[in-house]
Chains A and B, each alone.
Chain A
Amino acid sequence: MIFSSPYFLFLYFPVVLLLYYISPLRWRNLVLLIANLVFYGWGEPVYVLIMFVSIAIDYSHGRIVTTCKAKGNDRGAKMAVASSVVFNLLLLGFFKYWDFIVGNLNALGLDLVTREEIRSAINAALANIGLKPLFQAASSTLPIGISFYTFQTMSYTIDVYRGDARCQKNIVTFGTFVTLFPQLIAGPIIKYKDLDDQLEYRDHTFEKFASGVQRFTVGACKKVLLANALGPLWDVYLATPSSQLTTLGAWLGIVAFSLQLYFDFSGYSDMAIGLGRMLGFEFLENFNYPYISKSASEFWRRWHISLGSWFREYLYFPLGGSRVKPARMVFNLLVVWAATGIWHGASWNFLIWGLYWFVWIGLEKLWLGRVLEKTPAWVCHIYGVVVAIVGWAIFAVEDFSAMGPYLAAMFGFGAGALDTDFLYYFRNYLPILAIAVAAATPLGKIVWHKLPQRARQAAFPVLMLAGLVFTTAYLVDGTYNPFLYFRF
């Protein structure tokens, strides 16, 4: 289930709210757990099993780590942490990367089975003993959100070992954490230690609820009114044959994608944070105007913050971080960025995209960063945004035979500067692009906070209702509502 759909907004969520608030406090986690499982199983019911397994494994590993530590058995505790990490990585590896790995190895002459073959084999075996197939059509083969929740649960055992988090003894409470629907399928990636206290006790106030409403509405508008509106423009340029791609057209397309991705993902994070507040939770921020960054390093402190901080805390720092010899630091960066890249999808272009960021960030750490400090701010802004946008071209054009020509067209080696199609699309998308560019800067926020409080209080309900009404209109109209982060 996704937030930007009429049945979520007008059926699932109101029902969950109602059940949640009529339940006594001590039952609320259980109500949420059940609601979460419905939310998760909606798309592919069989994958609820993964949830149960995931809860059971991580819960028990947390208990084992605590018990071992209490007995002074550090070796046992370490083994348990390792076993939990291996389990989560295997889960992720099998569902997300198996076919990619097998495809590449088979191309080298091996003969490994794909996930589809495993699925049909299981179905066939069940049919033999007279049971119905466990798996349906091979539609959504990747369990949604698996990249997010495996990372969350991994952080739990590690933190329990490190003493940063307490062990959770109540399996319902733990299950609620693992499956918490607002951030289950697209983040923010929440570490258990950041939610620990709130799982036990959280207050439910009207102030919190209203600020959740505000945040949710902003997120819904970002996703539905901006990201979905810009999507078709990128689709046009992605589908344009390389031989017809002009320089301005290629830039228009990738700028549209850059904005679409930002509003899609940050809008989804806003909705998650808003929904969380309506249920009493406070989640950490996930985006902070990434396109105003003045460097590649700053971009990653502003883009998908929860992922960057996860990798820093659980991969980069354990490797030694930056407090090592330069050669070792470069190696550490390489590992982190290769992992970041491949986390975004099981395809070579994501790995290359990760390495692309490795190059820029590595350069900045070694030398470029000092140069940028002495460079005028506006040049740094241009540098930051161009690095990000060129990166998105590697990210978005998955097909290798198309990626090269697309980048070439961006840098002037295409079918001329512009054509009449470009004039049409530019003319048609100019207003929405202008709105989106403005919305990607803190401009609106600054103006909003300059308004007198009375003006804000008068304007907000009007804007909120308008936002909800237009979001509903676009949702009801929209068969065009692909959700970009399902793949991750």
Chain B
Amino acid sequence: MSKKYSIFITALFCTFVFGFGLAHFIIPDRDFSEQENTFLAQFKPPTWDTVRSGQFMEDFEKYFNQQFPLRDQWVRLKARSERALGKQENNKVYFGKDGQSLFAHFTELSDEELATRVGFVNKLGDNLDVPVYFSLVPDKSWAWAMFLPENAPNIDDGSTIEKAQALCGDNVNFISLKHLGITCGNTQSPDEDGSFYRTDHHWTTEGAYRGYMALMAGMGRDIQIYEWSPALVSDQFYGTTYSSSGAGWVKPDSIYTMIPEGGTKGHITVDRYPEGEPIPGGLYYPEKLEVKDKYAYFLGGNQPLCIIKNPNAQGGKLLVVRDSYSDSLAPFLAEEFQEVHLFDLRYNNKSLKQYVADNGIGQVLVLYSANNFNTDKNLFKLGL
């Protein structure tokens, strides 16, 4: 290497490392990452104690990594490079064969663990005098399995649902949603089915509607409103699976709302209980359509307890042991039941039995996505 050439190489390298190093300090830090849907670490000045204990260094690494210039672009570049290398997944997300669907990896549950978990539901059924219904929403990797990469290792929610059904005791009525979205088997593109978001783990409003019909049939209800018409509220939704995948080439999803026959009547009231005291809320939060986590459009996101009242309905009082899938189901239930209590085990340590008795609940629905049911650590509270 000649001296001139060496100077050039030296300069190139130094420009790269000094350049990004300096940019890190010049570019203002961000509070929140839309892409990752999370708050980012901030710089914490060192103190003698935090340096001595190593806490400062730990925090600083996190800060430096999370605030790195062009972080989202780097992540997307990596995803593209993985795809170019023939990988069919990135960061534990499968790239669907249709080129547009993203499937999260899930870990399989042992049969014993599943039996323990269904046992908590059985205990609830034994504890209560009112009917207890139980249902699991499959992930799209079951319904849309034909769009998974060839031979992709995957857990099979269909058999999880069958196993759970077989494990149910006498006092629990299982409603199978195994066939939700399965019509996709005959289609060329998952869009033609539309039961699940391609970029998010949730079911769509369409999927929730189908789930609703199946649940009502399973509960033996003669429902009041059959006709609903979809209305587009956002066509720019990138969900959680998209965030972890870095798959920048995928189209956004659309979010619809379903308008009941004859229009919304304005007789439905929603009370949120973020911290014990009720505050008025609504079924929909249009301001959430402006942020990254647009699914929170439905009921505004996670909350310990939410009570939806509709004096015109006929169906009595229903308690739903919820996860986030229930949020887009709630508008349908609201038309059918006088009161819908969405009860989240994660944020509640009250006895469900006591709650049902205190509030005159007429029936209980335990509704989880199969994956949440497999992983949630609070199910034991069902039996309290």
Contact = CB atoms under 8 A, between A and B. Distances in A.
Contacts of A427: 86, 88, 150-151
A469 B78 CA distance: 10
Contacts of B152: 424
Interface string B34-67: 0000000000000001011110010011001100
A374 B39 CA distance: 66
A213 B10 contact: yes
B57 A10 contact: no
B273 interface: no
A474 interface: yes
A43 B51 CA distance: 10
A423 B14 CA distance: 44
Contact of B6 (A9, A17, A207): A207
A14 B57 contact: no
Contact of B77 (A15, A205, A473): A473
Interface stretch (A56-64, A177-185, A349-357, A456-464): A456-464
B74 interface: yes
Given A7-B64, A428-B86, A431-B85, A207 B3 contact: yes
B226 interface: no
B60 A7 contact: yes
A42 B58 CA distance: 9
A320 interface: no
Interface in B7-24: 7-10, 12-14, 16-18, 20-21, 24
B59 to A, nearest CB: 12
Given A461-B8, A476-B65, A136 B53 contact: yes
B181 interface: no
Contact of A476 (B13, B54, B68, B88): B68
Contacts of B20: 10, 472
A473 B78 contact: yes
B260 to A, nearest CB: 44
Contact of B87 (A10, A428, A457, A477): A428
A206 B6 contact: yes
A209 B88 contact: no
A465 interface: yes
A210 B10 contact: yes
B17 A477 contact: no
Interface residues of B, number: 47
Contacts of A13: 17
Contact of A42 (B16, B18, B57, B88): B57
B49 A132 contact: yes
Interface string B87-115: 11101000000000000000000000000
A421 B85 contact: no
Contacts of B86: 427-428, 430-431
A457 B1 CA distance: 9
Interface residues of A, number: 48
A464 B17 CA distance: 13
Contacts of A432: 85
B1 A213 contact: no
A45 B53 CA distance: 7
A464 B24 contact: no
B75 interface: yes
A423 B151 contact: yes
B28 interface: no
A209 B86 CA distance: 36
Contacts of A209: 6, 10
B71 interface: yes
A460 B9 contact: yes
A206 B153 contact: no
A44 interface: yes
B88 A428 contact: yes
A15 B18 CA distance: 9
B9 A210 contact: yes
Contacts of A205: 3, 6
A14 B16 CA distance: 10
Interface in A173-229: 205-207, 209-211, 213-214, 217
Interface in A464-488: 464-465, 468-470, 472-474, 476-477
B12 A211 contact: no
Nearest to A13: B17
Contact of B153 (A42, A421, A468): A421
A14 B17 contact: yes
B21 A424 contact: no
A11 B10 contact: no
Interface in A409-466: 420-421, 423-424, 427-428, 430-432, 457, 460-461, 464-465
Nearest to A135: B53
B151 A476 contact: no
B1 A211 contact: yes
Contacts of B18: 14
B71 A476 contact: yes
A404 interface: no
A233 B20 CA distance: 31
Given A11-B21, A45-B51, A424-B152, A473 B5 contact: no
Nearest to B90: A477
A5 interface: yes
A6 interface: yes
Contacts of A44: 54
Nearest to A478: B78
A213 B78 contact: no
B246 interface: yes
Contacts of A457: 5
B150 to A, nearest CB: 7
A477 B246 contact: yes
A365 B65 CA distance: 51
Contacts of A460: 9
Contact of B10 (A206, A421, A477): A206
B149 interface: yes
A9 B61 CA distance: 12
Interface string B233-252: 00000000000001000000
B91 A477 contact: yes
A467 B81 CA distance: 12
Interface in A13-65: 13-15, 17, 42-46
A186 B14 CA distance: 25
A45 to B, nearest CB: 6
Nearest to B17: A14
Given A421-B151, A476-B65, 9 more contacts: A9-B17, A45-B54, A209-B6, A427-B86, A428-B87, A432-B85, A464-B12, A470-B78, A477-B74
30 contacts: A7-B64, A9-B17, A10-B64, A11-B24, A11-B64, A14-B21, A44-B54, A45-B51, A45-B54, A46-B52, A132-B49, A136-B54, A205-B6, A207-B1, A207-B3, A210-B6, A210-B10, A211-B6, A217-B13, A420-B151, A424-B153, A461-B12, A465-B16, A468-B16, A470-B77, A473-B75, A474-B81, A476-B71, A477-B78, A477-B79
Interface of B: 1, 3, 5-10, 12-14, 16-18, 20-21, 24, 49, 51-54, 57, 60-61, 64-65, 68, 71, 74-75, 77-79, 81, 85-89, 91, 149-153, 246
